[in-house]
Amino acid sequence: MDRVLVFSVPWLALFLVLTTTWAEDRLINPSQLEMFVDELPDMPRIHGFDVVNGVPKPKRLRIGMFKKEWKFHRDLPPTPVFAYGVSKNNATVPGPTIEAIYGVDTYVTWKNHLPSKHILPWDPTIPTAVPSTKKGIPTVVHLHGVIGEPESDGHAESWFTNRFAEKGPTWTKKTYHYRNFQQPGNLWYHDHAMGLTRVNLLAGLVGAYIIRHPKVEGPLGLPYGDEFDRTLMVFDRSFRINGSIYMNSTGNNPSIHPQWQPEYFGDAIIVNGKAWPHATVRRRKYRFRIINASNARFFRFFFTNGLRFIYVAADSVYLEEHVVTNEILLAPSEIADVVIDFSKSKSDTVILANNAKYPFPDGDPVNEANGKVMKFIIKKDKEVDTWRVPKKLIKYPSPELSSASQTRYIALYEYTSNTDEPIHLYINGKPYEEPVTETQKKGPQRYGM
CATH number for 81: 2.60.40.420
Residue 301 lies in a domain: yes
Q: What is the pLDDT of residue 404?
A: 65
Polymer length in residues for the chain: 449
Percentage, residues of the chain above pLDDT 70: 91
Residue 284 has pLDDT above 60, yes or no: yes
Last residue of a domain, one of 220, 245, 266: 220
Last residue of a domain, one of 341, 364, 382: 382
| 250 shares a domain with 201 | no
Of residues 431 and 324, which shows the higher confidence score? 324
CA atoms of 179 and 106, how far apart (whole Å): 6
Q: What is the pLDDT of residue 197?
A: 96
Residue 443 lies in a domain: no
Residue 437 lies in a domain: no
| 286 shares a domain with 200 | no
Residue 316 lies in a domain: yes
Residue 89 lies in a domain: yes
| 146 shares a domain with 270 | no
| Confidence band, pLDDT 50/70/90 cuts, at residue 420 | confident
| 290 shares a domain with 160 | no
| Confidence band, pLDDT 50/70/90 cuts, at residue 3 | very low
Q: What is the pLDDT of residue 123?
A: 92
Cis preceding linkage at 361, omega within 30: yes
CA atoms of 416 and 341, how far apart (whole Å): 48
Residue 447 has pLDDT above 60, yes or no: no
Last residue of a domain, one of 349, 364, 382: 382
Percentage, residues of the chain above pLDDT 90: 77
Give residue 173's domain range: 31-220
Residue 42 has pLDDT above 70, yes or no: yes
Q: What is the pLDDT of residue 433?
A: 85
Q: What is the pLDDT of residue 4?
A: 37
- Mean pLDDT value of segment 153-169: 96
| 235 shares a domain with 207 | no
Q: What is the pLDDT of residue 108?
A: 98
Residue 43 lies in a domain: yes
| 118 shares a domain with 162 | yes
Whether residue 171 contacts residue 110, with contact meaning beta carbons closer than 8 Å, is answered with no
CA atoms of 206 and 199, how far apart (whole Å): 12
Instruction: Please give the C-alpha separations between residue 12 and each of 5, 6, 7, 9, 24, in angstroms, as whole numbers.
Output: 11, 9, 6, 5, 18
| Confidence band, pLDDT 50/70/90 cuts, at residue 401 | low
H or E element that contains 110: strand 106-112
Nearest to 252 by CA among 157, 359, 356, 328: 359
Q: What is the pTM of this model?
A: 0.91
Whether residue 282 contacts residue 383, with contact meaning beta carbons closer than 8 Å, is answered with yes
| Confidence band, pLDDT 50/70/90 cuts, at residue 350 | very high
3 state SS of 341:
strand
- Mean pLDDT value of segment 40-63: 97
| 250 shares a domain with 216 | no
| 203 shares a domain with 83 | yes
Residue 442 lies in a domain: no
3 state SS of 95:
coil
| Confidence band, pLDDT 50/70/90 cuts, at residue 14 | very low
- Mean pLDDT value of segment 396-425: 81
Q: What is the pLDDT of residue 18?
A: 36
Distance of CA 144 to the CA centre of its chain: 10
| 233 shares a domain with 209 | no
Q: pLDDT tens digits for 105-144? A: 999 999 999 999 999 999 989 889 999 887 899 999 999 9
Q: What is the pLDDT of residue 9?
A: 39
Residue 2 has pLDDT above 80, yes or no: no
Q: What is the pLDDT of residue 5?
A: 37
| 237 shares a domain with 191 | no
Nearest to 221 by CA among 393, 389, 449: 389
Total domains present in the chain: 2
| 173 shares a domain with 102 | yes
Q: pLDDT tens digits for 170-225? A: 999 999 999 999 999 999 999 999 999 999 999 999 999 999 999 999 999 999 99
Q: What is the pLDDT of residue 25?
A: 60
| 105 shares a domain with 68 | yes
Residue 419 lies in a domain: no
